[in-house]
Structure 1
């Protein structure tokens, strides 16, 4: 989590700012998203509230809340929060003992820390519901503790985020294929620029968190032996690895050549996606959720969407590594009706919800196989199939040693972030890229060492060696 440390997140917040900020973050429930709410239920206890941050799923979740309210017999008040505001809204709601009964996971803290602090209530799932989920869905330290389920994964861990989306009509008119390598992309962008009728590319460069995620992905695709700067094999930070430098230099070249739509350097995600969805820009790097977001902006553009997966430097076979599926949904520890909340959460395991999730073309559903029979555009179906072949299970320190979570929970934000450095380098404010990346290594390493020292001092059996997975092999699912 980039905004709050455990101390800041679980600690106090100014009472005077609470009401205004929560109202600003969550807003009033929309008529479509509310089916009652507040002041007692109709048959199964108190009414419940549901918050999430999935912009492309608002219509689905508003409808689902209304349907489940009838089935469960309680009022369900559904509210969508913008991702940039959702974390702080939850923090402030917790401080006033007003957490929503159901909320999506934007907290970013280890599961044990949330359970210890009273944020979570166990989720009761029927055997039938558990049987619908893929094998290995629940992992100790990630979604359950001591065999008790505290988080429901509903979205697939088998995905990558730096998908190369392009306008198929522009590709046909200008004459290029979907790029697989950095050189392929350069050639396509140059061809669009030479043609002169369209802007070659746009990105959400103003969103430092998003550009950080995409460069992390491109580096891993390029062969980085880890994730988010941390090597799996040695447990050391290595942001100055060639794979990171090559990915950032690619973006720098694209920017310096004038291949970006004017204004791109300040675009947030909706700005960049909206410009691309208008149909006059060739390329846009975005996640698999892009079709869902595009449909909300300009449904006509769906027919023009194409993807070639994710770039690798020389067009090598793509290999991506991700951890076990984290919890998508939580039930609040202070819920007045955890039984009803668990029933609603259980409904997310149903095939009809998973199919609706697939057809929303936002985050891929936990059961990727369901996409094959869903009403989705062909590029989305192709991408989901690619995930099945290209994405492997990563090692995670808190799975091997649950006490490592004590150190993870003590981590503090590091600034400037990778995204900040990339923005500075593209804008000319950073001249020594490698030097800044080395400083980033040192800052993260120092923070991890300090967190481990504090956790060990408090009695946790944890050391830096827990982060070393010398037996990890790229392109294989890790087993403990």
Structure 2
């Protein structure tokens, strides 16, 4: 099983209506498969005996998970063998998926099943807006997640399952992946751990590798950039998540930790250590440039090696990974992350809802978890599967390190279920953190603290108006719902710690 050969879907196809969408499928139907992102070596998987095309009446599936295509392809095949229903798979690049789904909804072309990367509204808001329908599973499938795997407010809403976790909770997205040959040639021993060490390592890489730069990252991908700066802010001392302090619930993007991270990144540009075209790069392009020798270091999540394995397999033996950076030796590496949400959802437009639910039931289980580990995506929901996988040592080492420095964060929706109603009234604040960092690099944002304070104030004001609307509709919620006075650093916030 080599996995499905995907369609590659773009904005032009959607704007062209149904005919344009069909044409986008034809692009991926050549004998050799598509040459764009997401192509897997070895040709098309069976995909229900229909190649990449599930045929008439097939379930349509779109996602951004290039390194899960083999794992998901095995589930497609098993489902089709049992049901006789094919699966028509389309890969959409991470940075483009949100816009592509929005256009598809407007033109009534949403797939039956899809991931949600880039849809910036909360899941409760998307449910309220009519995006999804519940997943209908028998108890034996639910039991695969144990007593606390399917969480109210994350996967279950109004007693209905809308999604489920396929990845483990503990991880961060700002690891420093590096080109081993560049680092060895520069005479660098252990990976740098703080800002000054990293800056020095970048200089050594450039001195030893003519024409290359020290560092490259996806500055053009604001969603990913925001995630990375949020994670690095935690490592710099911010005791919260996504700009919100755990203990008080205060929105504080203007905290000194965020300023330290942004000033550090800007200093790399000032010192001419950053690949000069980074401002236009999304994650896929930046990663490909890095693998081609544009820079020694690349900031990415745990999926980096899996994506390289899929798209640039010749580079896989040349990569290694170091930890997320801290400002200096006085800081101990730490990150906080909430319980893992869902990855795949059934569209409300899907007429074959029962069949979609059956298809998704092929994902939870040992085989799928091992396949995720083989693919070196995010760590699988069941971490014991890693020992049975073919994952390379750097990825295994990174995943193991998460267990020592990543801790479960408190989440307002788990403290007060009515927070879901607040989320339904929340708006997407622009410019957001990613856009502000972009502006710092372009020179459009000169008062960094001032821009971050405006973001804090706008985010707090939006939450206030959303709370007011939720209360008017009967919700019992307040600003206190976002505060966790019992929170302690470097400690998992468990279900028993919520004050309900």
TM-score (norm 2): 0.85
1:376-455 paired onto structure 2 within 5 Å:
376-455=391-470
1:283 aligned counterpart, secondary structure: strand
Q: C-alpha displacement at 1:114, in angstroms?
A: 4.2
- Worse overlay, 436-445 or 51-60: 51-60
1:173-201 Cα shifts (integer Å, max 9, x gaps): 21112011112212211222333534211
2:361 aligned counterpart, secondary structure: helix
Q: Which residue of structure 2 aligns with residue 149 of structure 1?
A: 161
Q: C-alpha displacement at 1:135, in angstroms?
A: 5.0
1:443 and 1:311, CA in 2 relative to 1: closer, same or farther beyond 3 A?
same
- Match status 1:49 vs 2:60: yes
- Match status 1:130 vs 2:142: yes
- Worse overlay, 182-191 or 114-123: 114-123
1:22 and 1:213, CA in 2 relative to 1: closer, same or farther beyond 3 A?
farther
Q: C-alpha displacement at 1:465, in angstroms?
A: 1.6
Q: Give the superposed CA RMSD.
A: 2.6
Of 215, 219, 228, which residue of structure 2 is paired with 1:201?
Answer: 215
1:25-424 paired onto structure 2 within 5 Å:
27=25, 30=28, 32=44, 35=50, 37=54, 39-40=56-57, 47-94=58-105, 99-106=110-117, 107-133=119-145, 136-176=148-188, 177-197=190-210, 198-279=212-293, 281-315=295-329, 316-424=331-439
Give the conservation status (yes or no) of the 8 Å contact 1:279–1:301: no
1:422 aligned counterpart, secondary structure: helix
Give the conservation status (yes or no) of the 8 Å contact 1:22–1:89: no
1:408 and 1:296, CA in 2 relative to 1: closer, same or farther beyond 3 A?
same
Q: Which residue of structure 1 aligns with residue 6 of structure 2?
A: none
Q: C-alpha displacement at 1:214, in angstroms?
A: 0.9
1:424-479 Cα shifts (integer Å, max 9, x gaps): 21222222111111111111111111111222222222211211111111211213
Q: Distance in 1 between matches of 2:298 and 2:186?
A: 17
Q: Distance in 1 between matches of 2:68 and 2:377?
A: 7
1:89 and 1:268, CA in 2 relative to 1: closer, same or farther beyond 3 A?
closer
Q: C-alpha displacement at 1:17, in angstroms?
A: 5.2
Q: C-alpha displacement at 1:290, in angstroms?
A: 0.6
Structure with bigger RCO (C-alpha 8 Å, 6+ apart): 1
- Worse overlay, 21-30 or 438-447: 21-30
Q: Distance in 1 between matches of 2:116 and 2:20?
A: 17
Q: Distance in 2 between matches of 1:275 and 1:18?
A: 31
Q: Which residue of structure 2 aligns with residue 44 of structure 1?
A: none
2:178 aligned counterpart, secondary structure: strand
Q: C-alpha displacement at 1:340, in angstroms?
A: 2.2
Q: Distance in 1 between matches of 2:444 and 2:128?
A: 43
1:214-268 Cα shifts (integer Å, max 9, x gaps): 1111001122111111111111111111111111111111111111123223222
Give the conservation status (yes or no) of the 8 Å contact 2:75–2:359: no
1:29 and 1:148, CA in 2 relative to 1: closer, same or farther beyond 3 A?
farther
Q: Distance in 2 between matches of 1:169 and 1:246?
A: 30
Aligned length: 459
1:180 aligned counterpart, secondary structure: coil
Gaps of 5+ in 1: 1-15, 41-46
Q: C-alpha displacement at 1:346, in angstroms?
A: 1.2
Q: Distance in 2 between matches of 1:156 and 1:289?
A: 13
1:347 aligned counterpart, secondary structure: coil
Give the conservation status (yes or no) of the 8 Å contact 1:163–1:308: yes
Q: Distance in 2 between matches of 1:142 and 1:429?
A: 37
Q: Distance in 2 between matches of 1:117 and 1:248?
A: 35
Give the conservation status (yes or no) of the 8 Å contact 2:66–2:310: no
Give the conservation status (yes or no) of the 8 Å contact 2:275–2:294: no
Give the conservation status (yes or no) of the 8 Å contact 2:75–2:362: no
Q: C-alpha displacement at 1:388, in angstroms?
A: 2.2
Q: Which residue of structure 2 aligns with residue 9 of structure 1?
A: none
Give the conservation status (yes or no) of the 8 Å contact 1:101–1:331: yes
